[in-house]
Structure 1
Amino acid sequence: MLIAQLSDCHIATADDEFAKLYRPAEKLVEAARHVNSSVNRPDLVFLTGDLVNSAKRKEYDVLKEILPEFKMPVYLLPGNHDDCALLRAQFPDHDYLPKSGDLCYAVDGWPLKFICLDTNLHGKPQGFLGEEQLAWLDRELAVETTRPVVIFMHHPPFRTGLVSMDEMGLLDRAAFAEVIDRHDHIERILCGHLHRAIQKLVGGALAQCCPSTSHQVRLLLGEKNELGTAFEPPEYLLHYWTETDGLVTHSDYVKDYKIAWTLKDGVVS
């Protein structure tokens, strides 16, 4: 099966200066078109947080108009730019979202079990899971005995070397890693927030950040405590699952490139 992960779309209304700079809504529409028409068309899509830029109702209205562009199921996660109450209220048709409490949920019915976490700390750029949600995660992992598990969350549970972004990281990442370390069937931990492709082992499992469909964060490592963005190409991750090889992740740009040549049945065209 194929799972597309898109992240940090930061939808804003057309009159917003942010939208004039980055054109996030146009880019998400183009991403949907690209995903739908891809030769590697996914079975389902996860949007891993920062769905909108300023947690405004009108921004969620724009997002609501765009989501039907995707021709496969779409699952939403909150990020630090989101308002969980508004997200719940604006998308009542997304009935996998809990009616109260943290916006964490599990998705069944596939060869993999998907667990989606809520790292939103209302009004703060940092992420936080909390004891109750970590206990829920531990239980969900413990009861799953037949399938590998993929965890989706917005804030990555590790430091990245991007100092300014790390200051807006997951506050209880050590407690999260302790839960992960107790389970050996976690196939991947898939995150957003960083606007770059980054990987690290956490509690014995591979954690991976997805680039943004809107804009990327400049690669400034070490003590360069500076934050900047770059007009690098919109990008998403495509996760390819097979029983024999497990989960293999590929990056795909939201752009159609001209094909130089193909080889099929020994013939180049």
Structure 2
Amino acid sequence: MLIAQLSDSHVTLPEEDFAKLYDPVTKLREAARHVNNSVNRPDLVFLTGDLVNTARAEEYEILREILPEFEMPVYLLPGNHDDCTLLRKMFPDHDYLQKDGKLYYVVEGWPLKFICLDTNIHGKPQGHLGQEQLDWLEEELSRESDRPVVIFMHHPPFKTGLTSMDAMGLLDMAEFAEVISRHDHIERVLCGHLHRAIQRLVGGTIVQTCPSTSHQVRLLLGENNELSTTFEPPEYLLHYWTEKDGLVTHNDYVQDFEVAWTLEGELY
């Protein structure tokens, strides 16, 4: 099966300076078109947070208009730019979103079990899971120890070397790592927030962050507190899973490239 992960769309109103700089709405619509028409058309899509830019109802209304353009199921996760109360209010048809409290949930009906977590702290850039959610995660991971699991969340549970972004990281990353270290059937932990593709081993599992469909964070490693963005191409992650080989992750640009040449038949 194929799973598309898009992240940090930062949808906002067209008159905003942010929209004039990045044009996130056009880019998300183009991402939907690209996903639908891809030779690697996914079975489902996860949007891993920072769905909108300033958590206003008007922004979520724009997002509501865009989501039907995806021709496969779409699941929403909150990021630090989102408002969980407003998110559940604006998307009542997404009935996997809990009616109150944290917006964590499980997606069933596929060979993989998808566990989606909520790292949002209202009004804060940092992330936090909390003991209640960690206990729930432990319970869900223990429920079917022989079934492969993929975990989605917004804030990544590790330091990246991007100092300014690390200051807005997950506060209870050590506690999360302790939970997942007890379970060897986790295929991957997939995150957003960083606006770059970054990988690290955490608690015995590969953790991967997803680039943004809007804009990327400039790669400035080390003791550098500058935060800047670049106009690198919009990207998303495509996760390919087979029962035989497990999960393999690929980057895909939201752009159509001309095929240079093709070989067919027996190659070796």
State if a TM-score over 0.5 links the two structures: yes
> 1:145 Cα deviation (Å)?
2.7
CA distance in 2, matches of 1:224, 1:91: 39
> 1:137 Cα deviation (Å)?
0.4
**Any stretches of 5+ residues in structure 2 without a counterpart?**
none
CA distance in 2, matches of 1:197, 1:76: 20
The ranges of structure 1 where at least 4 consecutive aligned residues each deviate by more than 6 angstroms after the TM superposition are none
2:133 match: secondary structure = helix
1:256 match: secondary structure = coil
> 1:242 Cα deviation (Å)?
0.3
> 1:266 Cα deviation (Å)?
5.9
CA distance in 2, matches of 1:265, 1:247: 26
Letter in 1 for 2:130: G
1:1-269 to 2 correspondence within 5 Å? 1-265=1-265
CA distance in 2, matches of 1:190, 1:265: 36
CA distance in 1, matches of 2:195, 2:33: 21
- Work out whether residues 146 and 185 of structure 2, in 8 Å CA contact, stay in contact via their aligned partners in 1: no
1:92 match: secondary structure = coil
CA distance in 2, matches of 1:136, 1:266: 50
CA distance in 2, matches of 1:145, 1:55: 37
- What does the per-residue CA deviation read over 1:66-98, in whole Å, with 9 as the maximum and x for residues that have no partner? 000000000000000000000000000001111
CA distance in 1, matches of 2:224, 2:62: 36
CA distance in 2, matches of 1:88, 1:150: 23
**Number of residue equivalences:** 267
> Percent identity between the aligned chains?
76
> Please, what TM-score do these two structures have when normalized by structure 1?
0.98
Alpha-carbon RMSD across the aligned residues, in angstroms, is 0.9
CA distance in 2, matches of 1:215, 1:109: 33
- Work out whether residues 151 and 190 of structure 2, in 8 Å CA contact, stay in contact via their aligned partners in 1: yes
**Any stretches of 5+ residues in structure 1 without a counterpart?**
none
> 1:218 Cα deviation (Å)?
0.1
> Please, what TM-score do these two structures have when normalized by structure 2?
0.99
> 1:265 Cα deviation (Å)?
2.4
